[in-house]
Chains A and B, each alone.
Chain A
Amino acid sequence: MKRTLAVWFQNRFSAIPRITGLFSGRGFVLESICIGSETEDGLTRLTLTTRGDDSLIERIVKQLHRLIDVIQVVDLTGAPSVERELALIKVQSPNRTQREIVQLAEVFRGRIVDMGARSVTVEVTGRSDKIDAAIDRFKPFGVIEVSRTGTAALKRDEACEKAGRAVVVGMV
């Protein structure tokens, strides 16, 4: 099952490779990772998606907590949350297909951010499955290149304490 974790950490020396190294070193899946820049309170937020059942996710969360620079880990899976990913999709576009591509972009509420002689670049945001679908639909035109950010996620308001699986280890 796909899981989304939010990790707050102090972005000190070597903190990011320590987090990602934990996934490769312990055989956990790291599907996507999205790291912001440091905020005023000195913390950096990282959102990652992985796969696993409850017990595996518990292990991942506990291992993340062992890292000295990690302050908090929250499992957003199942909690009412907003998840977004941004993708830039460069599609082959001779003149005759341009209109169709623009229309298709509209279906996905995408924006045209670049238009050249041979290609059009579309910006799409949404949940990962929507992005997957968009890329699929552009494929027949010829997708030249895709750049995806990975998932960024936030809990919805008022859901915070109640429904969220805020896993704060050390409380057992």
Chain B
Amino acid sequence: MNVKATPKAAAVSAAAAKSGAEILIQSLIDEGTDTIFGYPGGVLLGIYDVLYRTPELKHILVRHEQGAAHAADGYARVTGKPGVVLVTSGPGATNTVTGIATAYMDSVPLVVLTGQVSSTAIGQDAFQEADIVGITRPITKHSYLIRDVEKIQETIAEAFHIAATGRPGPVLIDLPVDVMRATGSYKPESCVSLPGYQPRDTGNPPQIEKAARLLSTAERPVIYAGGGVITAEASTELTLLARTLNAPVATTLLGLGAFPETDPLSLGMLGMHGQWTANTAVAECDVLLAVGARFDDRVTGRLDRFATKARVIHIDMDPASISKVITAHVPIVGHARPILSALLETVTPLNTSAWLSQIAAWKKEHPAITQPTDKRLSAPDVLRQVADIMGHDTIVATDVGQNQMFAAQYWGFTRPRTLLSSGGLGTMGYGLPAAIGAAIGRPDCPVVCITGDGGFQMNIQELATAVHYGLPVLIVLLNNGYLGMVRQWQDLFFDKRYAHTDLDPGNPDFIRLAESFGAWAKRVTMADQVRPVIEAALEVVDCPRVIEFVVSREENVMPMVPAGAATTDMLESELIKGVRS
């Protein structure tokens, strides 16, 4: 049992009578909520009336509920705290579904509060009724329907506890309007008692010793780090361990930033658009230490050819992720941080110099390079320059597609919680609202949104939100006039039959569009304009800034593991021959 008494709560005299809506808002504040991403509606009016009187709780009015969920997700990824969403019943609730699924796939803590019709009307197809608990059951870590005003407080406490601990994830709470209106008692403390939910923290010591023994025999070790390292705040321990073992580190997309890419031991990202060297090192390694990663099919490629020479140590918070895809020789369930600390105390330095020089040679021979197909800007060039100007504390939110993979390959992440990307679900439209959430969660950091002309249009309405709150997000729009990543697959695997991937004929004038929202906007078409325009954008501080880079129409992301192929069978740019000769 976990009894929490917060100073604020304790100040309230025992069992004060309040409305359900008041208890709800007070409980959110007790859990440390400072921001709600929301959108009002009929059944929420009572709650919004309490918010009106509670200025200390910031409410961000998004322009679409999907935006609220992604913004709360961005907020959660940069702060480590659950993001809170408040939406109305029916369509308000269903609009959050993609955002909830995105957070679920990437283990992001969210508390999603959905209005619901009166508990007496549930099941009668009332106006704006939707069974949102049923709809979201497979994409939430847990969910609630509150039928009793006296249960609000403990439900909120449980929801935050479940969302943020163990393997984090979204928790949905459905709030019937009559329960919000009812009068109940607010108690100075709440407790969480969940006998069925006891996430394991520290790993099993004999397993950790086994892992240390296995590592001590390694000649060609590789560390494969995922988003779980960032969630567990274990980047420092990971970095120290890699340096002690002289083991190179490959990260997943969500693991970028867990290990500095500037470190000579960094292999960069692995997987479908990972570095040739990262994939090859995993294929050749004799011990693979997987931490906070789940052997996603975008990482492993063809399974029977993945890391076949390796003994696998797998550290993960979620027992269900261990040996789900690849059998772990040494499974360790628990939080990455205490386990990596324990490993650090046990392992002895390894001499891996032969392995590291092999890797250095591979890196030289197989850099990630691409080939623009026309005289327009090259997206990788643009991103390198943006990264160079923006610096290491910048938070980057990407969309999905080529822009995302280019960002992953060329930005050079060095710090945890600086990359926000929809890895598991691959949600186009994630970038802009996530960047907004990041700008609110970390007002001290510059925030860049890297997006494509397709994804940008999927949640472009959130420009209004960024303008409304004066958020100086820098939007790097890589406009290739195509659904670029899909076109790339058509190019490579469907003989360039570009079926319905050309957006150019309908694309808006993004500059005038952004300006009409009240954003600062400039188009860049020439290479020598890239730097000056970025610098000019950075002079603007009180509103979103959009720079549209008109980039090569058919530049492909390389290298690439074709779907279903082994990660060692990578396609590379034609230009790679020039590098090697």
Contacts and interface: CB of A to CB of B under 8 A. Distances in A.
Interface of A: 9-10, 13-14, 17-18, 21, 25, 55, 58-59, 62-63, 65-71, 169-172
Given A59-B320, A66-B318, A68-B197, 16 more contacts: A9-B196, A14-B133, A14-B143, A17-B137, A18-B137, A21-B137, A55-B323, A59-B324, A62-B319, A66-B319, A68-B141, A68-B196, A169-B319, A170-B198, A172-B207, A172-B322
- Chain B: interface secondary structure? mixed
Contacts of B134: 14, 17
26 contacts: A9-B196, A10-B196, A13-B133, A13-B144, A13-B145, A14-B143, A14-B145, A17-B134, A21-B138, A59-B320, A62-B324, A65-B319, A66-B319, A68-B142, A68-B162, A70-B196, A71-B195, A169-B319, A169-B320, A170-B198, A170-B200, A170-B319, A171-B204, A172-B207, A172-B322, A172-B332
A10 B333 contact: no
Given A58-B323, A66-B320, A169-B319, A10 B137 contact: no
Contacts of A59: 320, 324
Nearest to B146: A13
A10 B194 CA distance: 10
Identify which of B145, B196, B320 gathers the most chain A CB atoms within 10 Å of its CB.
Answer: B196
B331 interface: yes
B320 A62 contact: yes
The 6 closest A-B pairs by CB, nearest first: A62-B320, A68-B142, A25-B138, A71-B196, A169-B319, A68-B197
Contacts of B137: 14, 17-18, 21
B209 to A, nearest CB: 14
Interface of B: 133-134, 137-138, 141-145, 162, 194-198, 200, 204, 207, 318-320, 322-324, 331-333
A70 B196 CA distance: 5
Nearest to A25: B138
A66 B316 CA distance: 13
Contacts of A18: 137
Contacts of A21: 137-138
Contacts of A58: 323
A55 B12 CA distance: 53
B375 to A, nearest CB: 49
B319 A172 contact: yes
A55 B325 CA distance: 10
A63 B323 CA distance: 12
B145 A172 contact: no
B104 to A, nearest CB: 12
A10 B195 CA distance: 9
A67 B194 CA distance: 11
Nearest to B318: A66
A172 B333 contact: yes
B196 to A, nearest CB: 5
Given A59-B320, A170-B319, A67 B207 contact: no
A133 B318 CA distance: 43
Contacts of B197: 68
A93 to B, nearest CB: 41
B228 to A, nearest CB: 15
Nearest to A71: B196
Nearest to B145: A13
A130 to B, nearest CB: 35
B385 to A, nearest CB: 44
Nearest to A21: B137
A143 B10 CA distance: 68
Nearest to B330: A172
Contact of B194 (A63, A68, A169, A172): A68
Contacts of B331: 172
Contacts of A70: 196
Identify which of A65, A66, A69, A170 gathers the most chain B CB atoms within 10 Å of its CB.
Answer: A66
Contacts of A9: 196
